[in-house]
Amino acid sequence: GVCAHTGNPRLSNLVTTYLEELGNGEADKNHVTLYRNLLSRYGLDPVDGLSDALYEQGLIQLALGWNAQDFLPEVIGFNLAYEQLPLHLLITSYELNELGIDPYYFTLHVTVDNADTGHARRACQAALEAAPRINDGGEYWRRVRAGGKLGNLGVSTMDVIQGFDIEAEVVRILAHKSPAGHGAHSDFCKVEGRSVNEWLSTPDAMADFLTALERAGWIKKNRPVDESRFWKLLQGERAEMFGVFSGYELQIIHDWIRGTASADGASFDTAPAPETTGTGGATATTPRRLMSFRVAERLRQAQRGTPRHTEASLDADLAIFRERYPLLEGDEQRQLLVQALSPALHWTPAGLEATRELVRNLHGSPTLVQRAAPRAS
């Protein structure tokens, strides 16, 4: 919403913050790219069937950005509230690392949102710089406060954590899978008198299906997963349903079966290790001590070497942007740039190129237009 007004010095902190959220055009710092990669890494791409309530906060942000021309004080207030560093972000970053999950998206926000030189400071400066110098009777600050309150609408991080019910999530996963699975199973095996296809024909019956599987001995709750015949269909040698469930879905089912033992954070693909207990030398199967994400990542990089980064040269939008942008002037050029910086495109190769172009423009570096111009003989 503000990128069309880069020439207005009173909006410079808002523009700078947005460009930094976009990683200044670097894919490994663009926040949307980072989060999409994080979801994909742990089998959460795509995620279907989520409650509409989970999208309310994102919808508010998009609505404000799209209508920034009419709601600039509200945008400033929302940004002011949203850029303050919350305690739960520090806790989340620490605990994700302990659980072996990449915390970088969250630790990045801890650093860039700092109150000294980061986005929290810029948000305060933006609110002060945009304030009217002529008395408006307090209208500007009233609207800023209203925008700040919008940051508290929708489902919060703590709401999601406290409201998470793992059994309900298992039921949701199976209900979502049931249309694809119905008709794909043999009628040879029956559970409480009904074939698997019959069970899967009714998505709303998945809670009863799980209960029936447990009663029939296919699932043994609160026991190691390798004691459940159902789990062996999903994971392990000759698993007949291998590939049906994503990594995230397997982790949920794995933790649900293990029950309270899942508090150790063991991954579904981590083999258990024997541990000697008691006086008779008896062994009990327990998960290996969990490796933190940072330790695991250092090990992976040492084994495979430094990854090479290649440009996505087959992107149609990138080719169009590079062809058209140098040929345009004035408002038309600005409109193409702003379009590529939109939430729908900024994380793509074309959007990253546009972000780098705007950063070069603001910093006085050679731009695409200057580099495309023919040299004088």
Does the pLDDT value for residue 321 go beyond 80? yes
* pLDDT tens-digit series, residues 99-148: 889 999 999 999 999 999 999 999 999 999 999 999 999 999 999 999 99
Question: What pLDDT was estimated at residue 301?
Answer: 59
Query: Cα 172–175–180 angle (5° rounding)?
Result: 135
Q: Give dist(CA 226, CA 271) in Å, integer.
A: 10
Stated as kind and residue range, the H or E segment containing 31 is helix 31-41
Question: What pLDDT was estimated at residue 272?
Answer: 58
Question: What pLDDT was estimated at residue 284?
Answer: 47
Question: What pLDDT was estimated at residue 305?
Answer: 54
Question: What pLDDT was estimated at residue 314?
Answer: 78
Among residues of the chain, what percentage have pLDDT more than 70? Answer: 85
What is the residue whose two structure tokens read 């062809």? 323
Q: Quote the pTM value.
A: 0.81
**Residue 358 in contact with residue 19, Cβ under 8 Å?**
yes
Domain-by-domain residue ranges, the chain?
A: 50-163, 166-299, 316-372
Question: What pLDDT was estimated at residue 188?
Answer: 85
* pLDDT tens-digit series, residues 28-49: 999 999 999 999 998 888 777 7
Confidence of residue 1 (pLDDT cuts 50, 70, 90): confident
Helix (H, G, I), strand (E, B) or coil at 316: helix
Q: What is the mean pLDDT of residues 156-185?
A: 93
* pLDDT tens-digit series, residues 52-99: 999 999 999 999 999 999 999 999 999 999 999 989 899 999 999 988
Does the pLDDT value for residue 251 go beyond 80? yes
Question: What pLDDT was estimated at residue 149?
Answer: 96
* pLDDT tens-digit series, residues 237-250: 889 999 999 999 99
Please, what is the average pLDDT of the chain? 88
List beta partners, residue 274: 285
Q: What is the mean pLDDT of residues 185-194?
A: 90
Among residues of the chain, what percentage have pLDDT more than 90? Answer: 72
CB atoms within 10 A of CB 150: 20
Question: What pLDDT was estimated at residue 290?
Answer: 62
Question: What pLDDT was estimated at residue 116?
Answer: 92
Taking alpha carbons only, the member of 120, 128, 91 closest to residue 11 is 128
Question: What pLDDT was estimated at residue 46?
Answer: 79
Residue spans of alpha helices (H) in 205-315: 206-215, 229-234, 247-258, 293-304
Does the pLDDT value for residue 304 go beyond 70? no
Does the pLDDT value for residue 315 go beyond 70? yes
Stated as kind and residue range, the H or E segment containing 370 is helix 368-372
Does the pLDDT value for residue 306 go beyond 60? no
Question: What pLDDT was estimated at residue 47?
Answer: 78
* pLDDT tens-digit series, residues 326-362: 999 999 999 999 999 999 999 999 999 999 999 999 9
For residue 217, the Cα-to-chain-centroid distance in whole angstroms is 37
Q: Give dist(CA 255, CA 242) in Å, integer.
A: 18
Q: Give dist(CA 11, CA 125) in Å, integer.
A: 10
